[in-house]
Structure 1
Amino acid sequence: MPEFMLLLYAPEVEGAQERERWAALPVWEEITESLRKSGTLVANGPLHPSSSATTVRVRGDETVLTDGPFATTKEMLAGFYLLDCADLDEALRHAARLPTARYGSVEVRPLRRSAP
């Protein structure tokens, strides 16, 4: 079966909005466990804030390191799910279940296993 990467994007928040998101933890745990039990979940995980990122670029013989994400955006990459699904439609159904889809976005991409 093909694998799909679900990339979770959300605005960085603090205070009450951050506590509201953490309050949804039982929903996350329920969804994750259901994906695990069905054999769909390959891997998943949250990411630290984008301020902890280091971006690496190699130009010619020079390696350039930049603190922070590649681009300044309103939404950060907050986490991911790697799913083994029958098809794109199944991956999209799972993406819509994730709480991030309600306040951010979930990008769904098939994994490429070989060169084009």
Structure 2
Amino acid sequence: MSNVDTRQVNRDSLFLLAQLRVDGQDGLHRVKVRNLSSGGMMAEGDARVMRGSLVAVELRNIGWVEGTVAWKQDNRFGIAFVEEIDPKLARASAPAEGKGYESPRFTRNHQATKADSSRLRKI
């Protein structure tokens, strides 16, 4: 796609924290993901990048995605992904560990935890 074509791609505005690895630099940088589409994202942070830099970003529920810095302005920059992603995966909440519940045990209805009722003390 040309630069004009990519401006028409649907983007999800959101706020996520992500890890960024810049080719040729040691360490990871924490960046804020401001918007995300299947082909790229806008990030904000103090990472030292320039147009054309090779990067990899770790997105929640997706993992590491490789890309190239397409533009930079102040502390914001655009990343064009090498391969398309499903941006809705990053927006989904992380799966809970254990029994597969979506919310912490103390916030669930007591009916949802009938297996735990044997541990309740009767007064």
Q: TM-score range by the shorter chain?
A: under 0.3
Q: Which TM-score applies when normalising by structure 2?
A: 0.24
**Structure with greater helix share of residues:** 1
Task: Give the alignment's TM-score, normalised by structure 1.
Answer: 0.25
RCO (CA 8 Å, sep 6+): is it higher in 1 or 2? Answer: 1
